[in-house]
Chain A
Amino acid sequence: MASFPPRVNEKEIVRSRTIGELLAPAAPFDKKCGRENWTVAFAPDGSYFAWSQGHRTVKLVPWSQCLKNFLLHGTKNVANSNSLRLSRQNSDGQKNNPCEHTIDCGDIVWSLAFGSSVPEKQSRCVNIEWHRFRFGQDQLLLATGLSNGRIKIWDVYTGKLLLNLVDHTEVIRDLTFAPDGSLILVSASRDKTLRVWDLKDDGNMMKILRGHQNWVYSCAFSPDSSMLCSVGASKAVFLWNMDKYTMIRKLEGHHHDVVACDFSPDGALLATASYDTRVYIWDPHSGGILMEFGHLFPPPTPIFAGGANDRWVRSVSFSHDGLHIASLADDKMVRFWRIDEDCPVQVAPLSNGLCCAFSTDGSVLAAGTHDGSVYFWATPRQVASLQHLCRMSIRRVMPTQEVQKLPIPSKVLEFLLYRI
Chain B
Amino acid sequence: MDGEEETYGGCEEHALTSGTMKVMLSGPGQLAENETNEVNFREIPSHMLLKVCMYFTYKVCYTKSSMEIPQFPTTPKITLKLLMPGNFLDC
Q: Which of B3-11, B35-43, B73-81 contacts A (4 or more CB under 8 A)?
A: B73-81
- CB within 8 A of A394: which of B55, B58, B68, B79? B79
Q: In the complex, A85→B80 CA distance in Å?
A: 49
Q: What CA separation (Å) do A406 and B62 show in the bound complex?
A: 32
Assuming the contacts A397-B76, A412-B87, A415-B87, asked whether A386 and B82 have C-beta atoms less than 8 A apart, the reply is: yes
A341 at the interface (CB under 8 A from B): no
Chain A 373-399 per-residue mask, 1 if CB under 8 angstroms from chain B, else 0: 000000001010111011101101100
The reply to whether A386 and B52 form a contact with Cβ atoms under 8 Å apart is yes
Q: Is the CB of A394 within 8 A of B83?
A: yes
Q: Are B84 and A408 in contact (CB under 8 A)?
A: yes
Q: How far apart are the CA atoms of A272 and B32 in the complex, in Å?
A: 52
Tell me if A383 and B79 are in contact (CB < 8 A). Answer: no
- Cβ of A361 within 8 Å of any chain B Cβ, yes or no, is yes
Q: A386 vs B52: C-alpha distance in the bound complex, in angstroms? A: 8
* B86 surroundings in chain A (CB, below 8 A): 385-387, 390
| Chain A neighbourhood of B63, CB < 8 A | 383
Q: How many residues of B contact A (CB 8 A)?
A: 22
Summed over the interface, the residue pairs from A and B with CB atoms below 8 Å come to a total of 54
Residue among B69, B79, B84, B91 making CB contact with A385, cutoff 8 Å = B91
Is B14's CB within 8 Å of the partner chain A?
Answer: no
Known: A361-B68, A393-B75, A393-B76. A383 touches B62 (CB 8 A): yes
State how many residues of chain A have any CB contact under 8 Å with chain B: 21
Q: Which residues of A contact B69 (CB under 8 A)?
A: 321, 381, 383
Q: Which residue of B lies closest to A406 (CB)?
A: B80
Residue B22 interfacial (CB < 8 Å)? no
Task: Summarize B's interface: helix, strand, loop or mixed.
Answer: helix
Q: Given that A383-B69, A408-B84, A412-B84 are known contacts, is A389 also in contact with B59, CB under 8 Å in the complex? A: no
Task: Kindly identify, within residues 44 to 91 of chain B, every residue whose CB is under 8 Å from any CB belonging to chain A.
Answer: 52, 55, 58-59, 62-63, 66, 68-69, 72, 74-76, 79-80, 82-84, 86-87, 89, 91
Does A31 reach chain B (CB closer than 8 Å)? Answer: no
Nearest residue (CB) in A for B75 is A393
A394 in contact with B72 (CB, 8 Å) = no
- Which among A321, A391, A393, A408 has the greatest number of chain B C-beta atoms within 10 A? A393
B-side contacts of A97, CB under 8 Å: none
Q: Which residues of B contact A387 (CB under 8 A)?
A: 83, 86-87, 91
Question: Closest chain A residue to B54 by CB distance?
Answer: A386
Contact A390 B83, beta carbon cutoff 8 Å: yes
In the bound assembly, the distance between CA atoms of A390 and B72 in angstroms comes to 10
- Greatest chain B CB density within 10 A among A361, A385, A387 is at A387
Asked if B74 contacts A389 (CB within 8 A), the reply is yes
The reply on A416 being an interface residue by CB < 8 A is yes
The answer to whether A386 and B55 touch across the interface, beta carbons within 8 angstroms, is yes
In the assembly, what is the distance between CA of A285 and CA of B19, in Å?
Answer: 32
How far apart are the CA atoms of A383 and B68 in the complex, in Å? 10
Contact of A416 among B66, B68, B83 (CB under 8 A): B83
The residues of A that contact B91 with a CB separation of less than 8 Å are 385-387
Note all chain A residues with C-beta closer than 8 A to B82. Answer: 386, 390
Q: Most chain-B CB neighbours within 10 Å: which of A381, A386, A393, A411?
A: A386
Which residues of the other chain, A, contact B80 by a CB distance below 8 angstroms?
Answer: 390, 394, 406
Closest-by-CB residue of A relative to B19 is A385
Q: Is the CB of A408 within 8 A of B83?
A: yes
Q: How far is the CB of B57 from chain A (nearest CB, A)?
A: 11
Residue from B55, B59, B74, B87 in contact with A411 in the complex, judged by beta carbons closer than 8 Å: B87
Contacts of A321 in B (CB 8 A): 69
CA distance A363 to B69 in the complex (A): 9
Bound form: Cα–Cα A383–B89 in Å: 16
Q: Which residue of B lies closest to A397 (CB)?
A: B76
Contact with B79, one of A390, A411, A415 (Cβ below 8 angstroms): A390
| B87:A383 contact, CB within 8 angstroms | no
Q: Which residues of B contact A390 (CB under 8 A)?
A: 74, 79-80, 82-83, 86
What residues of B have a CB within 8 angstroms of the CB of A396 in the complex? 76
5 more contacts with CB within 8 A, not counting A386-B55, A393-B76, are: A383-B62, A385-B86, A387-B83, A389-B74, A397-B76
Q: Which 3 A-B pairs have the closest CB atoms?
A: A390-B79, A393-B79, A386-B86
> Could you write out 24 A-B pairs with CB less than 8 Å apart?
A381-B69, A383-B59, A383-B63, A383-B69, A385-B86, A386-B52, A386-B72, A386-B91, A387-B83, A387-B86, A387-B87, A387-B91, A389-B72, A389-B74, A389-B79, A390-B83, A393-B79, A394-B83, A396-B76, A397-B76, A408-B83, A412-B84, A412-B87, A416-B83
